[in-house]
Amino acid sequence: MSFAEGSQGTASGSLQSNNNKLGGTRKPVEPGQNAVKRLQTELMQLMTSPAPGVSAFPSADGNLLSWRATIEGPVDTPYAGLTFKLSFEFPSNYPYAPPTVLFRTPIYHPNVDFSGRICLDILKDKWTAAYNTQTVLLSLQSLLGEPNNSSPLNGEAAELWDKDPALFKTKVLDRHKDIEDD
Amino acid sequence: MPPPNTPVDGTTTPRSTQPSQPAQSSQSSQSASRPASSIIMDASQVKTAVVKMDYQAIDYVNPVDETLICPICRTAFHSPITTPCGHTFCAKCINRALERQRVCPIDRQPVDKTRDYRPIPLIIKEQLDRLEARCPNQGCDYVCARENLEAHYERHCEFTPVRCPKPGCDKLVARHLCSIEGQCMHETTNCDFCLKPVTFVDLDAHWEQECEAAFATCPDCGASVSVVNNSMLKHIQQDCPEATAKCTWEGAGCRVTDKRRLVREHERNGCMYETVGRLLEQQAEDRKIIQDLTRRLASLEAVRDTRRRGRRRDSAATINDRSAAAVAADGTLANPAASSAPLADGTTWESPHNYMLAQFERLESQMEELREMVCEMDMRQSASFLHHSQQVADRFLELGDKVGVLSMHTKWLLNMQYMQRNAQLRAANAASLTAGAAGAGNVGLSGSSDGGHHGGESSSGAGSSSSESGPRYQLGGRRGSEGRIETLTRL
C-alpha cells in the first residue's frame, strides 16, 4: 500500500489540469472508427454545402451510424411537391460497404417495395467507396423521375408508369402519407 | 523481483509489431535496473507509440483544398497513389476498397492491386507535407507542418497512448501517465481521501470532480481548497487572504506582519520601506550589470592582447622581408631611396595590409606627378611649334606679295611691248600700201601678217595671249631694248 500511495503522489503531480482530456487518449480503436470519422466529414460537408432538394442528419439517438434523410420529389414527375423520408444505416466498414437505405415514407414506385426497400444497383453490387450520403440521395432523387422498369420490385407500378401516367400519379398520391419523426 | 517478462511481449497485438521492438528493449533494460521500487523514466527511455498516428483524425488549421482530399476517406491524402485511370487515393483506402471489388471506385475501371499503382507527382506530396496540422491526440494543441507531425506523435507528444508501464498489462495509457516504472495504471487503488476504489488513470479526474474528501476547508479563510498535491499549503503560503503574511519589503526593514489581506492593503497604501526596498533592488541589479560588464571587459581585453601579439609578429616579418628586397634592389634601381623611404623613417606598419596600402598610395602620387610633367611638356612643344610655323607662314605671305608685285610689272611691260609692236605693224602696213610694190615674197609676208593682226585683236586678256605672243616677244625683243629682254629672262 505504501507503494501505491507513493505512486499516486508522483503521478498526480503533472496531471492536475489534464485529467479531463484523458478520455481521448484512452479511447479504444474500434472497427467502426473510420466509418464514424468519414461520416463526420460528410456531415460537415452536407451542412456547409447542401445540395438542393436533399438533406440528411444523424438520428436523434446520437448514433452516427444511423441517419435520417429527406428527398423532395423532383418537379415534372409524379412525385413533385411530395417529401420523402428515408433512413440510412451505415455498416461499420463504411464506406467500403454500402449503407442500408429504406424509404420510411410510403412510396409508390417501380423500384421500391411496400416496406420501403429500394432496388438500386449502386446500393448493392455497384457500390464503390467513392459514393457518399449526398451522392446516394441525389441518385435516389433521379430514380424517382427515371425508374428502372426492367427490374421492378413493384410490377404494377412498372406497368402503369408507361401505360397510364394519370392512374400512376393517383396511386402515388394515395400511397403517400406524411409520417412523424421518431 | 518478478521473473523476466519475455512472454509478455508475445501477447501484443499484431498491429504493434514494429514498435514492440524498442518497447521490449526498454523493458529489459528497466528490469535490469529494477532494484529501486519506483524509477522515474528519463528521456532516453521514452516509450514509443503503440498505435500508429491516425492521419484521418488530423485536424487541419486551414481548410484543405478539395483536390487534396481522398474520395474514400474524405480527408487529406495519406501516402497517396494513382490508379492507371488517373484517380488518386490514400494507399490504405484504395487497398481496402479493392479487397471488395477490383475496380476504381470513381469510374469502375479494372485495377490490379499494387501492380497498377503509379506514384503521385512530388508537387502533390509537397503540398500535403506543408499542410498545417494539429496533433490528433486529444488534449494536445501542437500544430506543425504535417510531415513533422508523426515524429511529434511518436516521440514527443505527452498524450500519445503507450503501453502501460506494468509488464503484462495490455492496455494503453497516455505517455505522461507512465512516470512510475512497473506501476499498472489500470489497477484499482483506494483514493487517499475518500477511500473509494479508483483506477490510477482516473485518479486525477476523481480528485478534481468527484471526491469530496479531496477538498478541505481552509482554517483561515474558510474556502474549500483541494488538498491534493500540497495545494492547501500553497494556498496558505501564497493566496489565502486571511493567513498571516509579511510585507514584501521585509528585507528593507519593514516589520509589518498581519493577515495577508491587510498586508496587501498596507503595501498598496505605500509602505515606508518601499523606496528603500526599490533602491536596494536597483542596487543589486546594478551590481549584477557591473559584474557582467567587468567580466566581458576582461575577456575582450584578453582577446585583444592575443590579437595584438599575433599582429606584431606578423608585421615584424613583413618589414624584414621588405628591407631585404630593398637592399637587393639598391644596386640596380636608379632611385632606391624612394622605394626604401617608408622604411628609412623607421615607421612600423601595423600590418602588411597597411604597408601595401601606403606603397600603393606612394606609387599613385608618383604617377600623378609624371602625368603632370607629360602634360606640361606637351603644352610647351605645341607652343613652340605654333611659334615656328607662324614665322614660316609670315614669310610665305611676304613672298606671295612680292610675286604679285612682279606679275603686275610683267603685265605692264608686256602691254607696253604689244602696243609698240602694233604701232610698228601699222606703220609697216601704211608704208607697203603707199609704196605699192608687187613682189611674190612681199604678198606672202602680208598675208601672214594679216592673220597675226586679227588674232591679236580677238584676245583681250594679256595672260591668255601670252602663249601666242611668245614668239613675238623674241621677234619684238630683237627689235626692242635689250634691257627689257634681260628682265624677262630673269623672271
Give the tens place of pLDDT for each residue, B54-65.
888 888 888 888
Question: pLDDT at position B401, please?
Answer: 94
Q: How many CB pairs under 8 A join A and B?
A: 131
State the Cα–Cα distance between residues B426 and B411, nearest whole angstrom: 22
Residue A77 has pLDDT above 70, yes or no: yes
pLDDT digits (tens, 9 = 90+) for A108-121: 999 998 899 999 98
B 4-23 → A contacts, CB under 8 A:
none
Question: pLDDT at position B443, please?
Answer: 45
Interface test with A, best of B183, B196, B199, B225 (most A CBs within 10 A): B183
Q: What is the mean pLDDT of residues B305-317?
A: 79
Q: Which residue has the higher pLDDT, A49 or B463?
A: A49
Interface test with B, best of A20, A21, A22 (most B CBs within 10 A): A22
Question: pLDDT at position B452, please?
Answer: 42
Interface test with B, best of A2, A14, A26 (most B CBs within 10 A): A26
State the Cα–Cα distance between residues A16 and B305, nearest whole angstrom: 57
Any chain A CB within 8 A of the CB of B210? no
Contact B73 A12 (CB under 8 A): no
Residue B416 has pLDDT above 90, yes or no: yes
Interface test with B, best of A3, A8, A121 (most B CBs within 10 A): A8
Q: How many CA atoms lie within 13 A of B288 on its CB side?
A: 6
Question: pLDDT at position B480, please?
Answer: 46
State the Cα–Cα distance between residues B438 and B239, nearest whole angstrom: 176
Surface-to-core class of residue B213, CB atoms within 10 Å of its CB (0-12 exposed, 13-18 middle, 19+ buried): middle
Instruction: Please list the residues that pair with B132 across neighbouring strands.
Output: B145
Contact A21 B57 (CB under 8 A): no
Surface-to-core class of residue A142, CB atoms within 10 Å of its CB (0-12 exposed, 13-18 middle, 19+ buried): exposed
Which residue on chain A is closest to B160 by alpha carbon? A25
Any chain A CB within 8 A of the CB of B137? yes
Q: How confident is the model at residue A84 (pLDDT cuts 50, 70, 90)?
A: very high
Q: What is the mean pLDDT of residues B443-447?
A: 44
Q: Which residue has the higher pLDDT, B376 or B16?
A: B376
Cβ atoms < 10 Å from Cβ of B205: 18
Mean pLDDT, rounded, of chain B: 74
Which residue on chain A is closest to B199 by alpha carbon? A8
Q: What is the mean pLDDT of residues A164-169?
A: 88
Antiparallel, parallel or unpaired: β B197-199 and B215-217: unpaired
Whole-number percent of chain A with pLDDT over 70: 81
| Under 8 Å between Cβ of B320 and B355 | no
State the Cα–Cα distance between residues B329 and B331, nearest whole angstrom: 6
* Residues of A in Cβ contact (< 8 Å) with B96: 96, 129
Q: Which residue has the higher pLDDT, B447 or B127?
A: B127
Question: pLDDT at position B13, please?
Answer: 38
Which phi and psi (to 5°) does residue A64 adopt? Answer: -75, -10
Question: pLDDT at position B1, please?
Answer: 40
Residue B438 has pLDDT above 70, yes or no: no
Contact A11 B177 (CB under 8 A): yes
Q: What is the mean pLDDT of residues B130-141?
A: 86
Q: Which residue has the higher pLDDT, B441 or A89?
A: A89
Residue A166 has pLDDT above 50, yes or no: yes
* Residues of B in Cβ contact (< 8 Å) with A41: 74-75
Question: pLDDT at position B422, please?
Answer: 94
Q: What is the mean pLDDT of residues B454-476?
A: 43
Residue A163 has pLDDT above 80, yes or no: yes
Question: pLDDT at position B295, please?
Answer: 93
| Least confident span in A121-130, B201-210, B318-327, B405-414 | B318-327
Q: What is the mean pLDDT of residues B126-130?
A: 90
* Residues of A in Cβ contact (< 8 Å) with B200: 7-8, 11
From A46, A71, A101, A119, the catalytic residue: A119
User: Which of helix, strand or coil describes residue B4?
Assistant: coil
Question: pLDDT at position A135, please?
Answer: 92
* Residues of A in Cβ contact (< 8 Å) with B56: 34, 37-38
Surface-to-core class of residue A108, CB atoms within 10 Å of its CB (0-12 exposed, 13-18 middle, 19+ buried): buried
Helix (H) or strand (E) segment spanning residue B161: strand B161-163
Q: What is the mean pLDDT of residues A121-145?
A: 91
Any chain B CB within 8 A of the CB of A45? yes
Residue B80 has pLDDT above 80, yes or no: yes
| Under 8 Å between Cβ of B3 and B28 | no
| Minimal CA separation from A20 to chain B, in Å | 6
Query: Which residue in the block uniquely carries the three cell numbers 606679295?
Result: B401
Residue A79 has pLDDT above 80, yes or no: yes
Residue A25 has pLDDT above 70, yes or no: no
Any chain A CB within 8 A of the CB of B230? no
Does the annotation count A143 as an active-site position? no
Question: pLDDT at position B403, please?
Answer: 94
Residue A151 has pLDDT above 80, yes or no: yes
Question: pLDDT at position A70, please?
Answer: 93
Nearest beta carbon to residue A37 from set B57, B203, B229? B57
Residue type, A100: T
Residues 6+ apart with CB under 8 A from B453: B425
Question: pLDDT at position B27, please?
Answer: 41
Q: How confident is the model at residue B156 (pLDDT cuts 50, 70, 90)?
A: confident
User: Which of helix, strand or coil describes residue B238?
Assistant: helix
Any chain A CB within 8 A of the CB of B257? no
Q: What is the mean pLDDT of residues B91-119?
A: 84
Residue B14 has pLDDT above 80, yes or no: no
| Under 8 Å between Cβ of A96 and B96 | yes
Antiparallel, parallel or unpaired: β B215-217 and B224-226: antiparallel
Antiparallel, parallel or unpaired: β A100-103 and B59-60: unpaired
Helix (H) or strand (E) segment spanning residue B342: helix B341-344
State the Cα–Cα distance between residues B168 and B142, nearest whole angstrom: 32
Q: How confident is the model at residue B325 (pLDDT cuts 50, 70, 90)?
A: low
Contact B228 A3 (CB under 8 A): no
* Residues of A in Cβ contact (< 8 Å) with B189: 4, 8
Q: What is the mean pLDDT of residues B365-379?
A: 93
Which residue on chain A is closest to B178 by alpha carbon? A11
Task: Give the residue ranges of DSSP H helices in chain A.
Answer: 2-13, 22-25, 33-48, 133-145, 155-163, 165-175
* Residues of B in Cβ contact (< 8 Å) with A132: 74
Q: What is the mean pLDDT of residues B345-359?
A: 73
Surface-to-core class of residue B40, CB atoms within 10 Å of its CB (0-12 exposed, 13-18 middle, 19+ buried): exposed
Which phi and psi (to 5°) does residue B9 adopt? Answer: -70, -20
Q: What is the mean pLDDT of residues A43-68?
A: 88
Q: What is the ipTM of this complex?
A: 0.71
Q: What is the mean pLDDT of residues B26-47?
A: 43
Mean pLDDT, rounded, of chain A: 80
CA nearest to A49, candidates A128, A138, A144:
A138
Question: pLDDT at position B484, please?
Answer: 56
Cβ atoms < 10 Å from Cβ of A170: 14
